[in-house]
Homo-oligomer: A and B are copies of this chain.
Amino acid sequence: MNAHDTTVEGAAALRDPRPAPAGAAHEVLAVVFQIRQERLSVLLWRRARPPFEGRWSLPGGRLGADEGLDDSIRRQLAQKVDVRDLTHLEQLETRGDPCRHPQGRILATAYLGLVPADIDPLVPEDTRWHPAADLPPMGFDHAAIVHSGRRRLRAKLSYTNVGFALAPPEFTMSELSRYYRAALGHDVAATNLRRVLLRRGQIEETGRFVPSGRSGGRPAALFRFRARRLEITDAFAVLRPPSGG
């Protein structure tokens, strides 16, 4: 699940310590996902200048001199989307391969951001949503970072309530199952999804119904997520403490 797992199998390179560096540049990047037209989409930005001119890259930029990582990614993203639309943001991974950036040593800390499906945030001219399953030609190692983000999102849909960040404030079960299908990449039966999320206490009925006449069928109940911040489904801690204690 964690993108950057490494195992010490082949003995590591153990050269002598090198002189401490003057300091490497650091950038923050964000993989911002939104379900658009039944597809998991990622916000990308088209580079107007070398390196990788004309290719697409993740939004982000250099870390400010006196700025926290979380603050920085929010500031950078504010130039692309309304940050009030960002319903979730978490750190994903840090990449530090010396060759990852042609202009020299630049470390990158990547974040995973989510925008709910019902809105269409205004984005700048050079910025577009692309299907995460069909990425355009991308610069740097950004395609790999997008894949890390997809893996993380898929995993967390299983054992957390991240769905709240993908879905609008109110939704029908068939809508929600379409969001899950888009994010997971396979069908999700609305009837099972409903039972699972209700039992876990993640969602609840609002008591209201979708305006009648919309679909030609039985009017669907509107649901909402109980919490709007990340919670872990404790049922997924196997090897749990014994019940009698």
Residues of A within 8 A of B (CB): 1-9, 11-15, 17-26, 61-72, 74-75, 78-79, 83-84, 86-91, 93-98, 105, 107, 109, 154-155, 157-160, 180, 184, 186-189, 193, 196, 228-230, 232, 236-242, 245
Contact = CB atoms under 8 A, between A and B. Distances in A.
> What copy number does this chain have within its complex?
2
A17 B64 contact: yes
B239 A193 contact: yes
A168 to B, nearest CB: 16
Interface of A is mostly: loop
| Chain B CB within 10 A, most for which of A13, A19, A83, A188 | A13
B237 A158 contact: yes
A83 B238 contact: no
Contacts of A26: 21, 23-24, 26, 96, 107
Given A9-B229, A159-B236, A188-B239, A4 B90 contact: yes
Contact of A180 (B19, B83, B193, B239): B239
Nearest to A16: B75
A89 to B, nearest CB: 5
Contacts of A78: 12, 14
